[in-house]
Structure 1
Amino acid sequence: MSENKPPAASGQGSAAVTSPAYQQFLTDLFGVIAYGELSAFERMSSDARFSPTLHDRATLGRLAVREYAHFERVSRHLEGLGADPETAMAPFQQSVDAFHDRTRPGDWYESLMKFYVTDAISDDFYAALGSRLDPESSALISSLHGSSEAPGEVLFDRLQRSLKDDPRLASRLALWGRRLVGEALTQAQRVVIERTFPKGLADALSGEEYDAQVRDLFSQLTRNHSRRMSLLGLTA
C-alpha cells in the first residue's frame, strides 16, 4: 500500500497507519463519532425529564451517562492521535445539529424511537468502518458498541412495552421511523461519506470498487433497519 493511502483492513503495516492521509481520516472519523456521542448525551439528558415514570427517567439518565463516557473515551483517543477533540468535532457540528433540528420528536415516545433508530444506524455504520481500521481504532469502535446494557436493547424493550400497552401508537411510530431512517441515511452520506471516505477508503479503492462498497453498505443499513422495525411489529 502506498504511503498516502489508509489500510484496507485491520492489522496493516505501521507505515500506512502513520501516514498523514490515514491520520486525517481517523481524526475526521473520530471527530464525528465524538460529536455524535456528545449530542446523544445532551438529547437523552434533556428528554429524560419528560419520562412518564421515574424508572424511565432513571433509565434514560443512565444511558446518557454511558454516552458521555463514550465521548470522553473517543476524545482521549483523538488526543492520542495528536488531535484536539474540539477542533476535530467542529466540521461536523453544524450538519449534525441541523439533522437534530429537522427530526425534533413530538413526544417522549418519538424520542425513544429516534434514539433507537439513529443510534442503531450509527452503530452499524461505524462497525462496518471498523473492519478497515488499525487494530487499536477498530477495538475502540467495537468496545463502544459492544458493552453491557447496550442502549438498543434497553430502548427496544421499552418501545415494545409501549406498543403493547397502546396499539394506536404503532402507526404513528412506524411513520416516524420511516422519516428517521431516511434522514439518518442522508445524514450519513452528507457528514461522513462526503468528508471522511474520500480521505480514507476512497483513496484505497478504484472508483467502481468505492461506489459498489458504498451501495452495499447503505443497502445493509437499510436491511438492518427493516429487521429492527419488524421485531417491533412495525412496517419499515
Structure 2
Amino acid sequence: MSEQPGSVVGRPLAERYETALYGLMCYRELTAFERLSSDARFSPTLGDREALARLAVAEFGHYEAVRERLLARGADPEAAMEPFVAAIDALHERTRPGDWHESLMKAYVIDAVSGDFYRAIARALDEETRLLVSAVQSMEEQTGWIRGRLRAALADDPRLASRLALWGRRLLGEALTQARLIGDEHDFWGNLLPHGSGEEHREVISQLFAKLVQNHSRRMGALGLTA
C-alpha cells in the first residue's frame, strides 16, 4: 500500500476516513447551528441573544465550508452525513438542558470535546484535511464568550456551581461515550495507527481519551468548577 507524504495511511484508505470525518463534522456543525439558534430565543438579555445568534451563524458557515469540501471531492453531503444522524441526534436527546445556563454548559463541553476528537482523528490525514478541521473546530471565539458568560453567572449566583459541575460531568460522559461508539463503528482508530497491533491500538485509544478528559478538566477549571 502506497503512503501519502505526511500521512501514515495509504491514499485510498485516507480518502475513506476523510469522507467519513467530513460527514461527521458536517452534521455536527448543522446541529450546532440549530441548537444555538434555538437557545438564543431563551437568552435572558438581548445582548446574550445577539451573541448566541452570531455564534450560530458562525457554525452554519462551518457547515457550509465542510459541505463544499465534500462536493469538491465528488461526494454527496447528505449521504456522507446520514451514517451519523442517529448517533448525534440521540446524544442531543439525552442531554436536553433544563435551562439557559445548562444550554451554555452543553455548548461549552460537547462542542469542545467533539472538536478535540475530530482534530485527533485528522492528525494522520493530509495537510489540507488537517487545516480544514483546525479551521472549523477553532473554538476560541465561541468558548471565550461562553466561558465569560458562565463565569459571570457563577459569580452572581454561586449556588449554580454544584449543579453545573454535575451537569458538566454528565455531558463529558455522554460525549466520550459517543466518541467511542463512532470511533468503533466507523473504524476511525485504524486511521490513528493503521499498522499497529490490537494492544497498540488500545494504547493509542486510551491516550486519546485521557487527553480529552485532561482538556475538559482544564476548561472546567477555567470556570472555577471541578471536572
Between the aligned partners of 1:79 and 1:196, the Cα distance in structure 2 is 23
C-alpha separation in 2, matches of 1:78 and 1:209: 32
Runs of 4 or more, structure 1, over 6 Å off, are none
2:91 aligned with 1:96, yes or no? no
Deviations 1:137-178 (A, max 9, x none): 01101112337x521111111111110111011111011001
* Residues 65-109 of structure 1 deviation map (CA, whole Å, 9 limit, x = unaligned): 000000000011111222111000001101110110000000000
Matches within 5 A, 1:34-183: 34-146=26-138, 150-183=141-174
Matched, 1:16 2:10: yes
Identity rate, percent:
52
CA distance in 1, matches of 2:158, 2:189: 45
Per-residue displacement from partner, 1:159-218 (whole Å, max 9, x unpaired)?
111101110111110110010000000011112343141563353322222111100000
Name structure 2 gaps, 5 residues minimum. Answer: none
Residue 204 of structure 2 aligns to a residue whose secondary structure is: helix
- Cα distance in structure 1, aligned partners of 2:81 and 2:217: 30
Please provide the CA RMSD for this pair: 1.9
Matched letter for residue 192 of structure 1: G
Aligned length: 227
Cα distance in structure 1, aligned partners of 2:133 and 2:224? 30
Q: From 22, 25, 32, give the equivalent of 2:24.
A: 32
Aligned AA for 1:118? I
**1:192–1:161 CA distance, 2 compared to 1 (3 A):** same
Q: Which amino acid aligns with 2:10?
A: A
What displacement does 1:124 show?
1.2
Looking at structure 2, the residues matched to 59 and 204 of structure 1 have their Cα atoms a distance apart, in angstroms, of 46
What letter matches 1:151 in structure 2? Q
Matches within 5 A, 1:148-227: 150-197=141-188, 200-227=191-218
Q: TM-score, normalised by structure 2?
A: 0.94
**Structure 1 unaligned regions, length at least 5:** none
CA contact (8 A) 1:23 1:81 kept: no
TM-score by length of 1: 0.90
CA contact (8 A) 1:29 1:196 kept: no
